[in-house]
Structure 1
Amino acid sequence: MRLILFVIALALLLRGYEWVSHDYRMPWTPLSLAAPIGPFTTRKIDALADDTPRCHRLLEEAAIDYSPLPPVEAGANCGYDNGVSLSQDQPRDIAYNPAAKTTCPMAVSLVLWEKQIVRAAALRHLDTTVEAITTFGSYSCRRIGGGQTGNFSEHATANAIDIAAFRLADGRTVSVAGHWNADDERSRFLKEVRDGACTLFATTLSPDYNKAHADHLHLDQAPRGGYQYCR
Structure 2
Amino acid sequence: MSFSSPESLRSRPPLAGLALMVALVAAGCSGESGLAPPGDLLGMEQASPMIRAESAAPAMFAPSAAPVVSAAPVGQAMFNDPDLALLPNGPDAPMQNVLAYPVSSGVDMQQMTSALPEGRVDQPVVMGIGTDQPRLATAPRMEPAAQPQIQAPQPEMSRVEEKPRLLAGLLPRFSNPLAKPQWAGGMPAAEKACRQRLKRLGVTFRDVPAINSGKGCSIPYPVEVTELSGGIEIKPAAKLNCQITDAFAQWVKNELAPAARVRYLSGVKSIRQLSSYSCRTMNSKRGAPMSEHAKGNAIDVGKITLDNGRGILVRQPGFFAFREKSLLNNIRADSCKYFTTVLGPGSDVHHKDHFHFDLRQRKTSYRHCD
CA displacement, residues 138-171 of structure 1 (integer Å, 9 cap, x when unaligned): 1111110101102100001110011001001001
SS at match of 2:240: strand
4+ residue segments displaced more than 6 Å: none
Counterpart residue number, 2:224:
85
Relative contact order (C-alpha < 8 Å, sep 6+): which is higher? 1
Q: Rate the CA distance shift 1:180–1:85 in 2: closer, same or farther, 3 A.
A: farther
Give me the CA root mean square deviation: 2.1
Counterpart residue number, 1:217:
355
Aligned residue pairs: how many? 182
Contact kept, 8 Å, 1:126 with 1:189, in 2: the verdict is no
Q: CA deviation at 1:65?
A: 1.7
Does residue 283 of structure 2 align to residue 145 of structure 1? yes
SS at match of 1:227: coil
Counterpart residue number, 1:53:
192
Counterpart residue number, 1:9:
none
CA distance in 2 between counterparts of 1:87 and 1:182 reads: 34
Unaligned runs of 5+ in 2: 1-187
Unaligned runs of 5+ in 1: 1-48
Amino acid at match of 1:72: I
Amino acid at match of 2:292: E
CA distance in 2 between counterparts of 1:181 and 1:163 reads: 22
Q: CA deviation at 1:183?
A: 3.5
Map of 1:164-175 to 2, 5 A cutoff?
Answer: 164-175=302-313
Q: What TM-score do the two structures reach when normalised by structure 1?
A: 0.73
Map of 1:117-156 to 2, 5 A cutoff?
Answer: 117-156=255-294
CA distance in 2 between counterparts of 1:109 and 1:182 reads: 32
SS at match of 1:189: helix
Counterpart among 65, 73, 98 of residue 212 in structure 2: 73
Q: Between the two proteins, what is the percent identity of the paired residues?
A: 27
Map of 1:92-107 to 2, 5 A cutoff?
Answer: 92-107=230-245
CA distance in 1 between counterparts of 2:328 and 2:351 reads: 14
Map of 1:19-38 to 2, 5 A cutoff?
Answer: none
Which has more helix, going by share of residues? 1
Q: What TM-score do the two structures reach when normalised by structure 2?
A: 0.46
Counterpart among 166, 173, 177 of residue 315 in structure 2: 177
Q: CA deviation at 1:100?
A: 2.1
Counterpart residue number, 2:201:
62
Of the two, which has the highest radius of gyration?
Answer: 2
Q: Rate the CA distance shift 1:80–1:180 in 2: closer, same or farther, 3 A.
A: farther
Q: CA deviation at 1:178?
A: 6.5
SS at match of 2:315: helix
CA distance in 2 between counterparts of 1:74 and 1:128 reads: 41
Counterpart among 155, 158, 161 of residue 299 in structure 2: 161
CA distance in 1 between counterparts of 2:241 and 2:319 reads: 31
